[in-house]
Amino acid sequence: MRRREFITLLGGAGAAWPLAARAQHAPGKVARVGIIDDSPSWDSFRQRLRELNYVEGQNIAYVYLRTDGSPAQLDAAAAALVQVPVNVIVAFGTPRAQAAQRATKTIPIVAISISDPIAAGLVTSLAHPVGNITGNTILGPDIVTKKLQILKDAFPAVARVAYLWS
Amino acid sequence: MATADILEDLRKATPLFQMALTSLPARTEVDFDRVFAQMSADRPDVGTYSRMRVSKLCESAGK
């Protein structure tokens, strides 16, 4: 999967760190995707997978587990996904990604919308992550320039940027 | 990453990509009318925001 495809897939406005782990998908098999706390945020994710010919009920299945957001429930949900087992865990936000990280060192984890993956202990480097985690980040050290670079690559005509802050 | 750091990084980085930056501080709810009027009058190509704090202001404004 190329980097730009990855960013589009996740619908992220931030930067992606390189894909270090991939879910293996053999023809004829159903890939199981584990999601902790389903929400409308995942609609674009599922839509993009459909566009990539991953059709629910045919060659992909989603395993959803809901939690109250507490660390104990997040850990329990992540552990349950590992027990299924799923082929990949996708986690929105740092607490879910960290729970998935605690649950498995082998199943690929896609961590989405992470503030600072290095500070969170998910990866040691954005450029060269190791282990079974990949994903994107929304804010973090050295990210501003990368975001602008991605923006310029995607939309070369962009010349005026407004920053709303408090 | 603090908002001030992001703003400073944006100020440094935008010229590298032939972009101009407009800083739009909105510290209170009443600032939003001014900020959005400014953006309507002088429309940027793209907008970004400091996520957490502005989100809280949006939530507050919606109550």
Predicted confidence (pLDDT) per residue in A49-93, tens digit: 999 999 998 999 999 998 988 999 999 999 999 999 999 999 988
Query: Are A165 and B6 an interchain contact pair (Cβ–Cβ within 8 Å)?
Result: yes
Q: Is the pLDDT of residue B33 over 90?
A: no
Percent of chain B at pLDDT exceeding 70: 76
pTM: 0.58
Structure tokens given for B3:
């908002």
Cα–Cα distance for residue pair A7/A16, rounded to 1 Å: 6
* CATH number given to A3-145: 3.40.50.2300
Nearest CA in chain A to B27: A166
The nearest CA of chain B is from the CA of A164 a distance in Å of 4
CA distance A85 to A132: 15
B37 to chain A, any CB pair closer than 8 A? The answer is no
What is the residue-averaged pLDDT of chain A? 81
